[in-house]
């Protein structure tokens, strides 16, 4: 995953300059910082979808739960195949 610098713009948005964008003088990515609570755990996530009507907190929460389920399955498969490290 490529890393870049994130500069807070206001309370819940930021600007990010990925390394390749810095080198080529491209405009920064606009990102939305989202806080969701899943069970008792509070998660902070970044998304490039700025419009809340296109990606709501409920949708983000559901997508994260699905992604986490996939990660758990991969972990179980790696342990079954003795490839846990």
Is 55 contained in some domain? yes
- Position 8 scores a pLDDT of 59
Is 63 contained in some domain? yes
Is 52 contained in some domain? yes
**Residues 14, 50: Cα–Cα separation, whole Å:** 11
- Position 28 scores a pLDDT of 75
- Position 1 scores a pLDDT of 39
* Tokens 């810095």, located at residue: 22
Number of domains in the chain: 1
pTM: 0.61
Is 85 contained in some domain? no
- Position 54 scores a pLDDT of 96
Is 30 contained in some domain? yes
Which residue range forms the structural domain that includes residue 23? 4-80
Q: Which residues contact 60 (CB under 8 A, 6 or more apart)?
A: 34, 36, 45, 47
- Residue by residue, pLDDT tens for the chain (85 residues) are 344 556 556 666 676 766 665 556 677 778 888 888 888 888 888 888 989 999 999 999 999 889 888 988 998 999 889 876 6
Is 46 contained in some domain? yes
Nearest residue to 16 (alpha-carbon basis) of 1, 26, 31, 2 = 31
């Amino acid at each position: 995953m490529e890393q870049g610098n994130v500069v807070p713009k206001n309370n819940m948005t930021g600007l990010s300059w990925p390394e390749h964008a810095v080198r080529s003088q491209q405009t920064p990515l606009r990102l939305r910082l989202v806080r969701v609570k899943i069970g008792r755990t509070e998660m902070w996530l970044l998304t490039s979808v700025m419009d809340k009507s296109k990606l709501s907190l409920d949708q983000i929460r559901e997508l994260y739960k699905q992604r986490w389920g996939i990660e758990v399955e991969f972990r179980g498969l790696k342990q079954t195949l003795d490839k846990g490290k």
